[in-house]
């Protein structure tokens, strides 16, 4: 989960466009379950 969060932060910072939505499969990386 920590590495997924770090990846998303770096992606948002470096992407040449604004990311407005993120679709997930509700895996453990993206939920608090």
Q: pLDDT of 1-33, one tens digit each?
A: 678 889 889 999 999 999 999 888 888 777 776
For residues 1 and 9, what is the distance between their CA atoms, to the nearest angstrom? 12
Q: Is the dihedral of CA 33, 19, 2, 4 positive or negative?
A: positive
pLDDT for position 1 = 60
Q: Phi/psi at 19 (nearest 5 deg)?
A: -90, 120
3-state secondary structure of 2: helix
Q: Which residues contact 3 (CB under 8 A, 6 or more apart)?
A: none
Q: What is the pLDDT of residue 30?
A: 72
Asked if 22 and 8 touch (Cβ cutoff 8 Å), the reply is: yes
Query: How confident is the model at residue 10, as a pLDDT?
Result: 95
pTM, entire model: 0.56
């Amino acid at each position: 989960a920590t590495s997924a969060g770090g990846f998303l932060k770096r992606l948002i910072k470096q992407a040449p466009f604004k990311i407005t939505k993120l679709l997930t499969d509700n895996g453990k990386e993206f939920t608090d379950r």
